[in-house]
Structure 1
Amino acid sequence: MKAAAFPYLGLLCATLVSCQVPPGKRNFKCGGVRSGQSGFIGSEGFPRLYPPNSKCTWKITVPKGRVVALNFRFLDLERDTLCRYDYIDVYNGHVNGQRLGRFCGTSKPGAIISTGNKMMVQMVTDANTAGNGFVAMYSATRPNQRNDQFCGGHLEKSPGSFKTPNWPDHDYPAGVSCSWHIVAPKHQIIELKFEKFDVERDSYCRYDYVSVFNGGENDEAKRIGKYCGDSPPAPVLSQENEIVVQFLSDLSVTADGFLAHYKFRSKKFLSTTTSPVTAAVTTTVKPTIPPCQLKCKKTGTLHSNYCASDFVLTGTVITAITRNGSIHTTISVINIFKEGRIAIQQAGKNMSVKIISVCKKCPIIKRGLNYIFMGHVDEAGRGQVFPNSFVMPYRSKNQRFLNNVKNRRC
């Protein structure tokens, strides 16, 4: 929704009951600290257009023993499928918590629930199109005592199970963000299995998806897998005694959802398992020849490398730093054709990734130039390319060819 198309929207929101914002709660400032049983937060100047080039952070704390429930009463930010320009991020906790969701456009998401008594809300805007902003109400609620409108929680009893809202009677709602934090006793691990699974299908799971993370934070470097479609993922084993399972749905297509079960196991179970059961993790097979003694030559074809690679993207080399015989680069992304587990950093419109050229001598990567990158991903979420990796200068004419390869089945 563009403000120019609805010039009286702000005036209407200041007077209509449908906006559900008490009169005394409309003079909002950029960010702040909030505490107590309930309250309101909103974009600076609401219901007027929010300012450009701003970053506002609200830190919310409710009484101990409760969790935060955030309900958007009004939402009007610049619309973008990936929410790259103006957006609102909601996080568990106040520092380094997992992101519970990113929102933009005009369709309000469902209730967003933290796993503890703290939540952080951050609104970021770029220099261009603006809207009337947002108003949200936060309130304290009891953990694990919610109806189908809510989801997520803190799980410590084994065995256990959890499911998407409305399961099994109806599809999950649009605009939902759920996080389950599962904690086993120390020196134990968690086995997670999906009994039923039906989440909107997409080649890169960009719209509705389930992500599973090692540890207690939504850290892309610790992501075990990202799943969608109608086939249950393979069973997942954690490396630690904590995992976070995150489910997000966008504002369009929905599906049946999922039913998942978990149980705690001894760490010895990892050593007795013949093959890891962590789904969606691609293991890089180390060559028998030391990597830096390989010939500096691409092997295979663009199509065969596309299928064999963890990630495929085009981008511009922003920085290139030599460390211990390798080149550590920061790549400004032009296009992503296959995301895999590579960690993507986003700031406004710009996306970037870290890629390590394992051997300094090749492939030759120069700062300021554009390349096609195909390679593998290390445990920290960084891309890795070797002398025989399919890395080549990128030209605009390559775009069509890459799109064709993307649409073929591997």
Structure 2
Amino acid sequence: MIRGVPMAWALLLALHVRAQTPDRQTFTCGGNITGESGVIGSQGYPGVYPPNSRCVWRVTVPEGKVVVLSFRLLDLESDNLCRYDYVDVYSGHANGQRLGRFCGTFRPGDLVSTNNKMLIQMVSDANTAGSGFLAVYSAANPNERGDQYCGGRLMKRSGTFKTPNWPEKDYPAGVTCSWHIVAQKNQIIEVKFEKFDVERDNYCRYDHVAIFNGGEINDAKRIGKYCGDSPPAPVFSEGNQLFIQFLSDLSLTADGFIAHYKFRPKKFPSTTIPPTTTAPPTTTTRPIPLKYSAALCQQKCKRKGTPESHYCSSNFVITGTVISAVMRGGSMYATISIINVYKEGNLAIQQAGKTMSTKIVILCKKCPYIRRGLNYIFMGQADEEGRGMIAPHHFIMAFKAKNQRVFNMLKNKRC
């Protein structure tokens, strides 16, 4: 009996301590989350998150609202390109626009979806780990958030949108903000940039603002892509919707921008500027309309000339890897991951982080013939939508790294 007394007291003491200690919220790997607000944490937070994991959280707030996500803590393996452990945030649940990829201990500004859904994905590899992340989400009215947070849906007759931290300090690295402006059916949208300072690059490959007609990113409807320190000319939509995306990579940052929009009657004479960048203009040839025809593709398929002889007559000159190639009709539609740009011309180039890609149509699917996974130099014409068009008389050849010096000399060629 005496021996059992201390054990009983110990049990009572343990129960008393447990009763006095509030239950700590436990976080699991992903899940479907609904409600006006809540807390999301990585698996096991604040303990070390597990290796080799992929967790997905799907957040849904009431219809008519947008999701605002605020990171309270971020502690993942650090890497300049976030290639190993990272958190991705998307607007929407399926095929949504990525709002940013984050790693290390840098906390981004608040992120806002363009609808009532948001997806958060955390991926870890086999090595270094930390305590993960803790974030708070909340529902907000879309009309209220365009000038307070990073992105959102704007439906008032006029308003303002700006980069995170404006004007107190530079915008953060590694963030994507998307604003979807929606006017009435009989109206168009005018956008004016009051101040503009975004990391400068000749091709706006890194930090940039891209503006699209319509309610989503569509390369064929891109109005312009802007960077540098000169405010773009006023932009007018063709219809009643504009989609504006700001992207910053994980390196240099700058002051950012503040812009104003307003709705105008559709009868207002719109002078939409052609797809361009605010970087210095390059000398280009006017795109020549090209399309598939049986006569075009009956030519004998034989490469003529050299890169030097085709350079001046080509609207664009790039090297790249074929990452997809789909037969459609008599043509081949390819997506190219760009290795180097020697002449951009009117070619529409997409940017995701530091990866550039473009769309190219081989008008005659077997001439010149390309294979997925291989590297080539492409010389051709771009159509009015910015797609590269390659006909049999244009120039394509296999590209090898040892040829890089020869191709670099093309940039200095005078036409």
What residue number does 2:287 align with? 284
* 8 A Cα contact 1:77 1:86, kept in partner: yes
* 8 A Cα contact 1:25 1:40, kept in partner: no
Q: 1:130 to 1:372 in 2, by over 3 A?
A: farther
Q: Alignment partner for residue 335 of structure 1, among 333, 339, 356?
A: 339
Compute the displacement of 1:116 (Å).
Answer: 3.2
Q: 1:23 to 1:216 in 2, by over 3 A?
A: farther
Question: Which structure 1 residue ranges, 5 or more long, are not aligned?
Answer: 1-21
What residue number does 1:6 align with? none
Compute the displacement of 1:134 (Å).
Answer: 2.7
Secondary structure at the residue paired with 1:397?
helix
What residue number does 2:195 align with? 196
1:61 aligned to 2:64? no
* 8 A Cα contact 2:90 2:98, kept in partner: yes
* 8 A Cα contact 1:57 1:121, kept in partner: yes
* 8 A Cα contact 1:159 1:263, kept in partner: yes
What residue number does 1:212 align with? 211
Q: 1:122 to 1:330 in 2, by over 3 A?
A: same
Between the aligned partners of 1:366 and 1:325, the Cα distance in structure 2 is 16
What residue number does 2:318 align with? 312
Compute the displacement of 1:83 (Å).
Answer: 3.9
What residue number does 1:131 align with? 129
Between the aligned partners of 1:195 and 1:302, the Cα distance in structure 2 is 44
Deviations 1:244-293 (A, max 9, x none): 21223345433232232333345555xx66x7513428973326997657
Deviations 1:110-145 (A, max 9, x none): 1112233321222345x5545333332212344454
* 8 A Cα contact 2:288 2:382, kept in partner: no
Between the aligned partners of 2:168 and 2:414, the Cα distance in structure 1 is 34
Secondary structure at the residue paired with 1:194?
strand
Q: 1:62 to 1:322 in 2, by over 3 A?
A: closer
| 1:341-360 mapped onto 2 (5 Å cutoff) | 341-343=348-350, 355-360=360-365
Secondary structure at the residue paired with 2:48?
coil
Secondary structure at the residue paired with 2:348?
coil
Q: 1:366 to 1:170 in 2, by over 3 A?
A: closer
* 8 A Cα contact 2:61 2:67, kept in partner: yes
Larger Rg: 2
Q: 1:69 to 1:288 in 2, by over 3 A?
A: closer
Compute the displacement of 1:337 (Å).
Answer: 3.5
Deviations 1:271-330 (A, max 9, x none): x66x75134289733269976578853576389469831x72321x46655432212345
| 1:6-405 mapped onto 2 (5 Å cutoff) | 24-29=24-29, 31-46=30-45, 47-52=47-52, 54-64=53-63, 66-125=65-124, 129-132=127-130, 133-145=132-144, 150-168=149-167, 170-220=169-219, 222-267=221-266, 276-280=272-276, 284-286=287-289, 292=297, 296-297=303-304, 301=308, 304=311, 308-309=315-316, 312-315=318-321, 317=322, 320-329=325-334, 331=336, 333=337, 335-337=339-341, 341-343=348-350, 355-366=360-371, 369-375=374-380, 383-402=388-407
Between the aligned partners of 2:160 and 2:191, the Cα distance in structure 1 is 9
Between the aligned partners of 1:119 and 1:409, the Cα distance in structure 2 is 50
Between the aligned partners of 1:93 and 1:178, the Cα distance in structure 2 is 14
Q: 1:370 to 1:96 in 2, by over 3 A?
A: closer
Between the aligned partners of 2:356 and 2:126, the Cα distance in structure 1 is 18
Secondary structure at the residue paired with 2:24?
helix
What residue number does 1:19 align with? none
Deviations 1:344-390 (A, max 9, x none): 799xx999765321123422324554312344566887643223434
Between the aligned partners of 1:128 and 1:355, the Cα distance in structure 2 is 37
Compute the displacement of 1:84 (Å).
Answer: 4.7
C-alpha RMSD over aligned residues: 4.2
Between the aligned partners of 1:228 and 1:235, the Cα distance in structure 2 is 15
* 8 A Cα contact 1:312 1:375, kept in partner: no
Compute the displacement of 1:394 (Å).
Answer: 0.8
Between the aligned partners of 1:408 and 1:76, the Cα distance in structure 2 is 49
Between the aligned partners of 1:303 and 1:256, the Cα distance in structure 2 is 41
* 8 A Cα contact 2:179 2:245, kept in partner: yes
Q: 1:142 to 1:75 in 2, by over 3 A?
A: same
Q: 1:146 to 1:184 in 2, by over 3 A?
A: closer
Normalising by structure 2, report the TM-score.
Answer: 0.73
